[in-house]
Amino acid sequence: MTLIESDTAGTVWKILVTEGQAVSDGDTLIILESMKMEIPFEAEEDGVVQTIHVAEGDVISDGDALVTLGG
C-alpha cells in the first residue's frame, strides 16, 4: 500500500482515476493547480487505486494525502 501525498500547497484541479482502477507506473493520477501551474502526481509503481482522499476543488496543503495505491 502506497500513500501518495502532496509535496506542495494547491487546489485539486483534476482527478484522472477512479477507486478500483488499475494503473501503471508513471500514470498521472491527480493534477493540482497552484500559482498557475498544473502539478501532476503520478503512480510510481503498477497497482490499483484503493482510496482517493480528495475531491476536485479541495484546497490542499503540503503533506496532505491524495491517493492510496494498493498492490
Give the three-class secondary structure for 51.
strand
Q: Which of 34, 48, 50, 65 binds other proteins (CB under 8 A)?
A: 34
Closest to other proteins by CB, 15 or 48? 15
In the numeric block, which cell numbers belong to residue 60? 490542499
Q: Determine, following the binding rule CB under 8 A, whether residue 20 of this chain makes contact with other proteins.
A: no
Q: Which of 1, 35, 57, 61 binds other proteins (CB under 8 A)?
A: 35
Q: Determine, following the binding rule CB under 8 A, whether residue 1 of this chain makes contact with other proteins.
A: no
Residue 46: its H or E element:
none
